[in-house]
Structure 1
């Protein structure tokens, strides 16, 4: 049941993230090219406490739209999009804060990402040993 609720929330947030920026856009007149073309980048990010997303209900969820401009419900959309561009959309390659000291406490936190990055489907899940370790990687992306 939890997995069904997670997918329903993910689909709803993805639809809002992808369609929201397009709501005000008027279709191009026949024979005219649109002003700009871009590959869509719209993501739904979730955070939950637990060892896997299948076993833990999301505690927080945000949308992050990076193209054509940073937007969404993410509190730091601009810096998060910049970090993802620098990592070329590879969530495992997000920069870490090597100066951050974390305890060895085991209180697993799982993050998920579902959506589209530069026109390609993305589905990502990673479990961190605790909140501090999660926060040390991708400072802006998973800071919500």
Structure 2
């Protein structure tokens, strides 16, 4: 790397780092909110690694619901009500009237939930079970 390139890189890093004390949070405080941002996916097959991804969306819940999810407010509310336990949401369709056809569909959620690493997957027996048991979170 040439001297000019190194100087430009250091200038860029300094600009990203901020000016110091003026940018720092007051002592003893943290961010106003813990980040919550997920990538949600629906995959044909009984596991996400080997299946075919059918669709995927982003979901951001903090500081406000957004992302490419068609109903981010409902999906974020659902996750908040479940205290981030996605199994609570996907267990909802157990009593649905669906055929017993085995045509598995796997849903995934990966990212950060309230400041902590989050990774979840669940396999439904077929698309009917997915529709009836995924709540707003995986309704896309």
Superposition TM-score, scaled by structure 1 size: 0.73
Instruction: Describe the SS at the equivalent of 2:53.
Output: coil
Poorly superposed stretches of 4+, deviation over 2 Å: 28-34, 97-100
Residue number among 107, 117, 120 corresponding to 2:116 in the alignment = 120
Unaligned runs of 5+ in 2: 1-20
The structure-2 alpha-carbon separation of the partners of 1:131 and 1:55, relative to structure 1 and needing over 3 Å to count, comes to: same
Tell me the secondary structure at the aligned position of residue 52 of structure 2: coil
Say whether the 8 Å CA contact 2:44–2:51 is kept in structure 1: yes
Residues 68-79 of structure 1 aligned to structure 2 (within 5 Å): 68-79=63-74
Residue 54 of structure 2 aligns with which residue?
59
Counterpart in the other structure of 1:83? 78
- What is the alpha-carbon root mean square deviation over aligned residues? 2.4
C-alpha distance in 2 between matches for 1:41 and 1:126: 20
Unpaired runs of 5+ residues, structure 1, are 1-27
| Counterpart-to-counterpart distance in 1, 2:105 and 2:82 | 22
Aligned pair count reads: 118
* 1:47-74 residue CA offsets vs partner (Å, 9 max, x unmatched): 0111111111311010000011000000
User: Deviation of residue 138 (structure 1)?
Assistant: 3.2
Partner of 1:109: 105
Structure 2 contact 92–133 (Cα < 8 Å) conserved: yes
